[in-house]
Amino acid sequence: MNESITPVFVDGPARLPLLTDHGRAFNGLKNSSSSELVERVKSLFEYLSGRLGFPDSTEGKESQECFNTLLRSVYPEVMIDLADLVYAQHERLAVFLSFDHININLKKDLDENCGSLEAINKKMGHLFYQLARTIIADPTLRQDSQIIRLLSESYSYYLHQTENFPWEDLVQPRPLNLHQPVLDAATGLAGFSMIHNWPENFPKLVLSDNEPFIVCCLSHYLKLTGKKNVILVEAEFPANPPTGMKFGLIMATKFLHHLKRPDRIQFLKWTLSALEPEGMLAIMDTDLEHEILEQSKRPEFGGRLTAGYLETLVEIEGDFADNLKSDVASTGFRITHFECREYHDETDAFSQNPGDNLSLKFVGLEIAAEKPEP
C-alpha cells in the first residue's frame, strides 16, 4: 500500500498564503546597504506568494509559521542562495543558508521558551531547500520570466557591488592581435569575472550561453559595467552556434565534457570553420564528472552527493582525454600544446553535508590547437 506524501508547498486555490505579515516585515533587510537586493527580495516573495502556498492543515500552518520566521530574519544575499540552488546547481554546489546572520535577528523575536535554535534552523533550512526543489520541479515556475529576472538581477547587482565572483576566470587568453574577436563557448557563471577582467585594449570578447538565467545575469552585469568590447550572444553548441562571425581565438573551458563524442566532433568542426587562418582553439577540461558518475554507482558514495547534482551530469566515455586529443587532430587542427595530468582531491564541494570529504581521482587536460593556413 502506497501512502501519499503531502507536499510542503502547493499551488491549489485552497492554500495558506506563502507570505504573511510576520514574514513581510523582513527585519533582516533593514540595515542592508544594497537597496537593489532588498527591493528584489521583497518583490520575489510577494510574487511567489501569488503562485505558491502551504496546505491548509496543521502541518501546513506550522510550515507557514516557520517559513515566515525565516523570511522575517533573512539577509539580502538569500537571493544568491536561491538562484544557485535553482539555476546554477551544476556550477555552485555547496549552498548553505547563513544562519549566523539569520539568528542575529531571530533572537530579537524569540522568547526564552522558544526551544533550540538548532532545531528551528534545521526546519527553516528544510523549507528553503524544499522551495528550491519545488521551483526546479515545476517548469512553469523555473522558466517564469519574473522569477528569472528578479534572481538574475540580484545576482548581477551583488557581484557588481562585491566582486565576490563565483568562478574566477581560469584562462588568461593572449589574443593573436587586437583585431580578431575572441569567443568563449558556453560561458556560464565564469562570465562575470571575464567581463570584469577583460582589458579595454583587448579585442572584442564574445560570451555565449543559452540558459535564460545566465543570459539575463550577464546581460544585466554588462550594462552595469559599461564594457564596450564585450558582447553576449545566445548560442547552443553544437546545434545553434553563433553565425556570421570569425574569431582569432575560441576558448572552451570545462565545457566539452558536457557533450557526447559525436556532438564534440561537430563542435570541433564548427570551430575550425569559425576561426580565422592561424586562429587558435584553447581547451581546458577534466573527466571529473565521469569519475563522479562511475563512483556514484556505489551507494556509500552516491548517497553522500548533493541532492539533485547527479541529474545535471552527462555520461561520457572513460577515455575522454585521449579521444578529445585525437578528435582535435583529426578535425584538421595542428596541436601546438597538450598537457594531461592525474589529480587526487579530498573535498566536500560535492557533498550533501559540509565537512564530509569525498575522495576523487580525475584527469585534467589542456589543449592548444591552431587552424592551419589554407
Task: Summarize pLDDT for 261-273 with one digit per residue, the tens.
Answer: 999 999 999 999 9
- Give me the chain's average pLDDT, please: 90
Counting other chains too, the contacts that 50-53 makes at CB distance below 8 Å and 24 or more residues apart are 51/11, 51/141, 51/144, 52/9, 52/10, 52/11, 52/15, 52/18, 52/131, 52/134, 52/141, 53/9, 53/10, 53/11, 53/15, 53/16, 53/17, 53/18
Mean pLDDT of 179-201: 94
* Cβ atoms < 10 Å from Cβ of 172: 6
- Banded pLDDT at 356 (limits 50, 70, 90): confident
In three-state secondary structure terms, 3 is coil
Task: Summarize pLDDT for 92-120 with one digit per residue, the tens.
Answer: 656 778 898 899 888 877 765 566 788 89
Domain ranges in the chain? 15-162, 182-370
Mean pLDDT of 172-186: 79
**Residue 348: what pLDDT?**
80
Q: Please give the CATH topology (third level) of the domain spanning 182-370.
A: Rossmann fold (3.40.50)
**Residue 2: what pLDDT?**
39
Task: Summarize pLDDT for 8-61 with one digit per residue, the tens.
Answer: 999 989 999 999 999 999 999 998 999 999 999 999 999 999 999 999 999 999
**Percent of the chain, pLDDT > 90?**
70
Q: Is the pLDDT of residue 234 over 60?
A: yes
Task: Summarize pLDDT for 75-84 with one digit per residue, the tens.
Answer: 999 999 999 9
**Residue 93: what pLDDT?**
58
Task: Summarize pLDDT for 315-339 with one digit per residue, the tens.
Answer: 888 899 999 999 999 999 999 999 9
Q: Is the pLDDT of residue 5 over 70?
A: no
